[in-house]
């Protein structure tokens, strides 16, 4: 289940084509190894790290996405790079999108479950809908993660990765800014796969067991208490002497 971007799709698609023509394959999905053009799929590890990204099995998210300004509902802006150190799920959505509504309870569930471990969903509204409309919509569904706006440039950059002009679609970025999954649609199987991959990425590196607590040193047995003198025995001793 998914819907097309009707209100903004034409201008976003045209911008995506223009950006692609201007920059070629640099910092796009085409230059990032891994199958990211299928529904609900993790990004595959590369056969070898590229120069400047040594030690990594996964591609970094396109720089156009990492540095794009995201505007929250109060008007403040930030970038995905500001969230380095967190696992982030960028979710494209709109209030008119029925499948988006279907998917939101899973996003709420993941935020509640993984939020304390450094995970954050960012709901990116695709149509610049009024703040009041977004707030009311989110309140009605118990949204517990930040809502913000994705401008046409950011949308175009994300569409270049997913190669799909519809919503909902989400992009999973790990703590080091690497693309780990692209998810399209709101079918139950797709949502379950997204939850599975999110849990895996969030818990990476957290499976180390803490060393067992040291057992308290055993206290020495107390010295046996001396028995009080027996008056009868003491009297016999005094008679012998």
For residue 39, the domain's CATH number is 3.40.30.10
Overall average pLDDT of the 85-101 stretch: 97
Tokens linked to 82: 């500001």
pLDDT exceeds 70 at position 156: yes
Domain membership of residue 212 (yes or no) is: no
Angle at 95 between CA 130 and CA 7, to 5 degrees: 80
Domain membership of residue 234 (yes or no) is: no
Q: What pLDDT is recorded for position 64?
A: 97
Overall average pLDDT of the 160-187 stretch: 96
Domain membership of residue 66 (yes or no) is: yes
pTM above 0.85, yes or no: no
Residue 60 DSSP symbol? B
Domain membership of residue 227 (yes or no) is: no
Number of domains comprising the chain: 1
Domain membership of residue 64 (yes or no) is: yes
- Residue 98 CA to residue 215 CA, distance in Å, equals 57
> Which distant-in-sequence residues (6+ apart) come within 8 Å of 228 by Cβ?
none
Strand-pair category, 3-4 with 166-167: antiparallel
Which SS3 state, helix, strand or coil, does residue 71 take? strand
pLDDT exceeds 50 at position 211: no
Distances (CA, A) of 110 to 60, 127, 145, 152: 23, 24, 10, 27
Mean pLDDT of the chain: 77
Q: What pLDDT is recorded for position 165?
A: 86
Q: What pLDDT is recorded for position 11?
A: 47
Domain membership of residue 79 (yes or no) is: yes
Q: What pLDDT is recorded for position 50?
A: 42
Overall average pLDDT of the 48-65 stretch: 69
Domain membership of residue 233 (yes or no) is: no
Domain membership of residue 213 (yes or no) is: no
pLDDT exceeds 60 at position 236: no
| Per-residue model confidence as pLDDT tens digits over 11-56 | 444 444 333 333 222 222 322 333 333 345 566 555 444 434 544 5
User: In which domain, by residue range, is 20 found?
Assistant: 3-46+57-202
- Residue 240 CA to residue 128 CA, distance in Å, equals 112
């Amino acid at each position: 289940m998914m819907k097309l971007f009707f209100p903004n799709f034409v201008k976003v698609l045209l911008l995506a084509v223009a950006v692609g023509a201007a920059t070629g394959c640099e910092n796009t999905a085409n230059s990032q190894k891994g199958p990211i053009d299928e529904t609900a799929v993790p990004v595959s590890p590369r056969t070898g790290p590229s120069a400047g990204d040594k030690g990594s099995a996964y591609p970094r998210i396109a720089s156009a996405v990492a540095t794009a300004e995201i505007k929250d509902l109060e008007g403040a802006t930030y970038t995905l790079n500001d969230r380095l150190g967190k696992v982030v799920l960028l979710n494209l959505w709109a209030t008119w999108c029925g499948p988006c509504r279907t998917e939101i309870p899973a996003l709420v569930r993941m935020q509640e479950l993984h939020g304390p471990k450094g995970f954050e969903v960012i709901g990116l509204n695709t149509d610049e809908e009024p703040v009041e409309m977004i707030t009311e919509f989110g309140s009605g569904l118990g949204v517990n993660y930040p809502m913000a706006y994705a401008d046409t440039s950011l949308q175009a950059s994300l569409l270049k990765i997913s190669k799909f002009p519809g919503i909902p679609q989400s992009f999973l970025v790990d703590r080091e800014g690497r693309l780990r999954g692209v998810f399209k649609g709101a079918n139950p199987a797709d949502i379950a796969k997204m939850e599975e991959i999110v849990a895996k990425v969030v818990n990476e590196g957290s499976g180390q067991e803490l060393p067992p607590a040291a057992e308290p040193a055993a206290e020495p047995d107390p010295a046996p208490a001396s028995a009080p003198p027996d008056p009868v025995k003491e009297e016999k001793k005094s008679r012998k002497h």
